[in-house]
Structure 1
Amino acid sequence: MEIWLPILITSLCYLTPSLLLFKKQIPDKNLTNLNALLIGIGLLAHFTILKASISFNPINLGFSNALIVTSFFSILIFWILNFNKNFNYLQPFLLIPSAFLLIIHPLFVSNHFLTTDLSPLFMTHIAIALLAYSLFTFSAYVAIFILIFEKKLHQKKKIDMILSGFQPLIEMENFLFNINKIGFILLTITLISGILFSEQLFGTPLQFNHKSVFSILAWLIYGLLLVGKRLYGWRGRNSIYISLTAFVFLLLSYLGSKFVLEIILHR
């Protein structure tokens, strides 16, 4: 029961900004500041959920915990960036699914303790990996938003009014490129550290299983996208689809395997 109170607080703090944004179609400075405050409070409550669920000694990175950790860092990235850029229109796409994940979190809690010694090297590897996943998750939300915006560009619906404060589409695509570039660097470091220290960190040498194959495929696709953008100016829907394809492979590499093993097979 103790975990339900912070879940309730976090969910309310995440859902309220989206509801207020739908109610007031063109957000003013006061509404933007209120939403920032609510999200900040939500992040604090979200962190208490992580602390209670993961326990940190030893670290429990089960399927549901991995989901709420990724959503926490994705929202934190959004919250920080939104102070300098107008990303209010991303709130419903990011906050509503995160609130849903928190509400169902207690129903899917599973134990997957990392028994490896918590050395600085190990903690650095885990932190960089989680940050990379979170950046790519945030970029996926941006990519989905761009696709929705392009589709509704000439439609006069209520959601279009919410998008009234949007940045130019080409600027959003450039921002997506920069996020993917940072995520690609972090993913590269994660893969290299995983290869070099796999036996030391996890007790087994690197194996070419579905997890490593999907991770490498995601890395290759993101790399191809970044090279295409840099050398040939790739943009538009095709580049968005390539970005989302890479994200799906990345999702399957970690969360997909955890879902099958822990939720379906109960291992």
Structure 2
Amino acid sequence: MEIWLPILIACFCYLTPSLLLFKNPAPNKKLINFNALLIGIGLLAHFTILKASISFNPINLGFTNALIGTSFFSILIFWLLNFNKNFSYLQPFLLIPSLILLIIHPFFLSNHFLTTDLSPLFVTHIAIALLAYSLFTFSAYLSIFILIFEKKLHEKKKIDQLLSGSQPLIEMENFLFNINKFGFILLTITLGSGILFSEQVFGTPLQLNHKTIFSILAWLIYGLLLAGKKLNGWRGRKFIYISLTAFLFLLLSYLGSKFVLEIILHR
């Protein structure tokens, strides 16, 4: 019962800015600051839920905990970036799915307690991996928005007010490239530490399972994407589709396996 209060607070603070944005597609400075305050309060409530669910003795990285953890850091990244850039148009894409996850979280709780000792190397590995997943999640939301925006442009129809308040397409694509670049660096560190120091990090030798294979495939596709953008100027739908394909493999590598094992097979 105690967890429902922060869930309700977070949901209210995430839903209200999205509704206000639909009502005022071109918000003024006061409304932007008010929305930022609400999202900040929502993040505090979200963190309270995350802390209570994961605990730290031992750490519980079950499927739903991983989901709300990734959504928390994705919103945190958006919230911090929005102080310098106008990303208000992304609010519904990030906040509404997150509040749905928070609502269903108590009904699908699953336990996956990490028995590995919390060595500095292990904690660092988990933190970097979670940040990488969160960056790529933010990247996926932005990619979907760009596809919608580009479709409206190609249809030569009047762009919705919400879309018209966004940044120019080329600026969004360049920002997407930078997000993917930082995510790729963090993913490289995550995979490198997992492969080279598997026994020290996880207490077991490296296992070539589907999680490892999908992670490496995602890393290769992201690397190809960044190289194509840098060397050949890839942009537009090709860039977006490759980015989303890489994210799908990344999703399958961790969350997909956890969903099957914990939610379907109850292991």
Alignment TM-score, normalising by the size of structure 1: 0.98
Distance in 2, Cα, partners of 1:113 & 1:202: 13
Contact 2:125/2:201 (<8 A) preserved: no
Corresponding position of 1:146: 146
Corresponding position of 1:109: 109
Corresponding position of 1:36: 36
The superposition leaves residues 160-190 of structure 1 with CA deviations (integer Å, 9 ceiling, x where unpaired) of 1012221110010000000000000000000
1:199-214 to 2 correspondence within 5 Å?
Answer: 199-214=199-214
Distance in 2, Cα, partners of 1:115 & 1:208: 21
1:248-263 to 2 correspondence within 5 Å?
Answer: 248-263=248-263
Q: CA deviation at 1:6?
A: 0.3
1:1-267 to 2 correspondence within 5 Å?
Answer: 1-153=1-153, 154-156=156-158, 160-267=160-267
Q: CA deviation at 1:201?
A: 2.3
Q: CA deviation at 1:25?
A: 2.3
The superposition leaves residues 238-267 of structure 1 with CA deviations (integer Å, 9 ceiling, x where unpaired) of 110000000000000000000000000000
Q: CA deviation at 1:152?
A: 2.0
Distance in 1, Cα, partners of 2:34 & 2:187: 34
- Give the stretch that moved more between structures: 74-83 or 161-170: 161-170
Aligned pair count reads 265
Alignment TM-score, normalising by the size of structure 2: 0.98
- 5+ long unaligned stretches in structure 2: none
Distance in 1, Cα, partners of 2:56 & 2:141: 28
The superposition leaves residues 32-51 of structure 1 with CA deviations (integer Å, 9 ceiling, x where unpaired) of 01100000000000000011
Q: CA deviation at 1:156?
A: 3.3
* One-letter identity of the residue aligned with 1:136: F
- 5+ long unaligned stretches in structure 1: none
Distance in 1, Cα, partners of 2:36 & 2:25: 17
Q: CA deviation at 1:80?
A: 0.2
Q: CA deviation at 1:155?
A: 2.9
Distance in 2, Cα, partners of 1:40 & 1:140: 22
